[in-house]
Amino acid sequence: MTRLGRVDGRYRRRLISIILGVIALLGLAAEQSVSATPHGEFSWPLQPRPAVERQFDKPAQDWLPGHRGVDLAGAPGQPVFAAGDGIVVFAGTVAGKPVVSIDHPGGLRTTYEPVRAEVSVGLRVARGTRIGNLEAGHEGCAAAACLHWGARREASGHSRREYIDPLGLLHPTPLRLKPVT
């Protein structure tokens, strides 16, 4: 083998090694960015964006008083949409109120009431899928109808079930600061 052949061979191996390194780094960066983002994106379950009539008020203990969701102002018969991708795990009546519950990736469950369901248990829904119609009669609501939208993380091996503020699932428009002049 000539000296030129050895240089070409070393150059080719080094180039291949650099290319493989860059591909590995790009794959690692993509994997990190995917794992850093929340499972799925969430949006408002009523359109247009509703007024919040009553805020989330987490109870100190699960059995104590509190407000385990938010009440969103709406109108009777208004369409209600899945806030995120998931699977319908309940569509029926609880204590005389029509309820829909959706399980999302990562052990999250969202609940919507009073909603007359247009979906059935086991149906996979995407964010924005119409799941039913809002009914009037949510106690304590000043609007013609209010959607009680709740969210909780299901219990896992090291933690118990926890109610969370569903508004925290939404990603508000980022702030854009202007330069100081």
Tell me the whole-structure pTM to 2 decimals. Answer: 0.70
Q: Where are the domains of the chain?
A: 1-37, 52-169
Q: What is the pLDDT of residue 20?
A: 56
Q: What is the pLDDT of residue 10?
A: 67
> Residue range 121-130: average pLDDT?
97
Residue 69 — very low, low, confident or very high, per pLDDT cuts 50/70/90?
confident
Residue 146 — very low, low, confident or very high, per pLDDT cuts 50/70/90?
very high
Q: What is the pLDDT of residue 161?
A: 78
127 torsion bin: left (phi>0), alpha (psi -120 to 50), beta (else): beta
Instruction: Scan for tokens 């007359």, then name that residue.
Output: 116
Residue 37 has pLDDT above 60, yes or no: no
> Residue range 119-141: average pLDDT?
92
The contacts of residue 32 (CB under 8 Å, 6+ apart) are none
Topology of 52-169 in CATH? Glucose Permease (Domain IIA) (2.70.70)
Phi, psi dihedral angles at 138 (to 5 degrees): -80, 115
Residue 32 has pLDDT above 60, yes or no: no
Residue 58 — very low, low, confident or very high, per pLDDT cuts 50/70/90?
confident
Q: What is the C-alpha to C-alpha distance for residues 88 and 121, in angstroms, rounded to an integer? A: 5
> Residue range 75-80: average pLDDT?
96
Dihedral angle of Cα 117, 120, 126, 128, to the nearest 10 degrees: -10
